[in-house]
Structure 1
């Protein structure tokens, strides 16, 4: 399944494409609380690989046509 993020790119919190997930501050809170998409540390910088972002979004998908057990 194709995602909205380029699979071969590293995204940084300040990149405008990441606004779909939230603010820079929201991403920092998620990292601190071990939530949100997987990330990588590049020295002191934080990066998000496009494949991890697409996987995270796919995992958040809710299908309203399926009934809860």
Structure 2
């Protein structure tokens, strides 16, 4: 299941990005080499929808311990 549009580029300040927390939190993740893959466009940071969906899928935890 895809939460983000696969073919869209999202910016940190987009409302859809609030699922990850604040803009500052995303900046901290980038600084610590954590979080979803990102694209630097000049001084702006962008995220591809495919990368956001892949990151969310990787964070999935099954409380029953079954394979995803």
- Shorter-normalised TM range: over 0.9
Deviation, structure 1 residue 35 = 0.2
C-alpha RMSD of the superposition: 1.0
In structure 2, the partner of 1:32 is 31
Please list the CA deviations of residues 21-57 of structure 1 after superposition, one character each: whole Å capped at 9, or x if unmatched.
Answer: 1100000000000000000001111000000000000
Structure 1 residue runs of 5 or longer lacking an equivalent are none
Moved over 2 A (4+): none
Q: Which TM-score applies when normalising by structure 2?
A: 0.93
Counting matched residue pairs gives 66
- Following superposition of structure 1 onto structure 2, how do residues 1-69 of structure 1 map, counting pairs within 5 Å? 2-66=1-65
TM-score of the two chains, using structure 1 as the length reference: 0.92
